[in-house]
Amino acid sequence: MASKLVDKYGRIAKKLRISVTDRCNMRCIYCMPTNNADWLDDSQVLSFNEIVRLASIFADLGIEKIRITGGEPLVRPSLENLINSISMIPGIKGIGLTTNGLLLADQVKQLSSAGLSSVNVSLDSFKEDRFKMMTGVKGVNKVISSIHNANDAGLDVKLNTVVIRGWNDDEIVDFALFARDNGFTVRFIEFMPLDGTGIWKHDLVFSKKEMIERINLNLGEIVKLHNIDNQPEPAMLYSFIDGKGILGFIPSITEPFCGNCDRARITSDGRLLTCLFENPGRDLKGIMRSGATDEVIERYIVDSMSNKPEGIIKMIKTKSLKPTLNLMHTIGG
């Protein structure tokens, strides 16, 4: 089915990120406001029935893949029930989950059985003291165990690593080796101004070019892979010459991919974000709870997506980047 979600730049939305909670069991420095206690009330967060209804509407409009995000989505009880319901929606070809991994090992079998097909696990350091410094908690070994458990359960596993200059850039080679030794995909992400702590500045951005140079210097040359699916992806994929392990680079600051963006996002409190940096977004929850029909909601979504902004690339051109342009813990990855 041809997508109806086309914007004025000709971009077609095929993927939807849905945040199911703003709550998290970590306090990552590039995401969560320090000592945040102002969680949304349960009444402010979309119910599973509301999420399934919106997912069905988006599927009718051409969305093919859905990713469940947070906050930390696994702190919301019975998430497998939501995944099972979404898996039954006609037109949905895959359901993914983005998680910090702390709770994943205990739930991975239920999630996989419910229809989950892939998982992205956030991991920014292999060193316990640094892990705690960056996330506010201990648990690096638990996260690594969860990664292996998810792989053993048959899920497509990727690691997301946010690289911050002076914080963890000295572990880039270690993560590349982890990908090579275990056959996983590790995606290195440039630090973006979506931080609740307000620490972002351009000097902390460790660029894709620098990451590749460091890997080439220490481990030998990596080669770029062709996109065999011919689908827009934020990560530029590379591998070692012998094909072991895949390294992805998401250069959102130095080489933004806005021109190929095929995503839409729903925040935990029911706002539609046509762009990661759109704020405050469009109030889908309010329209839905006012009694609007599916047809009215569809028209609202189509109109909203048609007016999708150019993206972070415009902010870079106009030199208007600054900390806390949006809060990642409410919108997910």
Note the pLDDT tens digit of each residue in 305-321. Answer: 999 998 877 666 676 66
Q: Which of 90-104, 220-234, 250-264 has the highest mean pLDDT?
A: 90-104
Q: What is the mean pLDDT of residues 205-222?
A: 96
**Residue spans of alpha helices (H) in the chain:** 48-60, 79-87, 104-114, 128-135, 140-152, 172-182, 208-219, 284-289, 294-306, 312-317, 328-331
Whether 263 has a pLDDT exceeding 80, the answer reads: yes
Alpha carbon distance 48, 56 (integer Å) = 12
Q: Which residues contact 160 (CB under 8 A, 6 or more apart)?
A: 98, 120, 121, 122, 123, 187, 189, 333
Quick check: bond before 280 cis, omega within 30? yes
pLDDT band at 323 (very low <50, low <70, confident <90, very high): low
Alpha carbon distance 269, 54 (integer Å) = 13
- Per-residue pLDDT of 117-141, as tens digits, reads 999 999 999 999 999 999 999 999 9
Average pLDDT of the chain? 91
CA 68 to chain centre: 9
pLDDT band at 333 (very low <50, low <70, confident <90, very high): low
- Per-residue pLDDT of 53-104, as tens digits, reads 999 999 999 999 999 999 999 999 999 999 999 999 999 999 999 999 999 9
Whether 236 has a pLDDT exceeding 70, the answer reads: yes
pLDDT reported for residue 208: 97
pLDDT band at 45 (very low <50, low <70, confident <90, very high): very high
Whether 231 has a pLDDT exceeding 70, the answer reads: no
pLDDT band at 39 (very low <50, low <70, confident <90, very high): confident
pLDDT reported for residue 33: 66
Quick check: bond before 71 cis, omega within 30? yes
Instruction: Count the alpha carbons within 13 Å of 306 in the hemisphere toward its beta carbon.
Output: 8
pLDDT reported for residue 229: 55
**Look-up of token digits 């009880």:** 77
Alpha carbon distance 166, 155 (integer Å) = 33
Q: What is the mean pLDDT of residues 152-178?
A: 97
**DSSP code, position 69:** E
CATH annotation of 15-331: 3.20.20.70
Please, is 309 exposed, middle or buried when counting C-beta atoms within 10 Å of its C-beta (0-12, 13-18, 19+)? middle
Q: What is the mean pLDDT of residues 226-246?
A: 79
Quote the pTM value.
Answer: 0.92
Whether 162 has a pLDDT exceeding 70, the answer reads: yes
Amino acid letter, residue 181: D
- Per-residue pLDDT of 135-155, as tens digits, reads 999 999 999 999 999 999 999
Domain boundaries in the chain?
15-331
Provide the token pair at 40: 């949304």
pLDDT reported for residue 233: 72
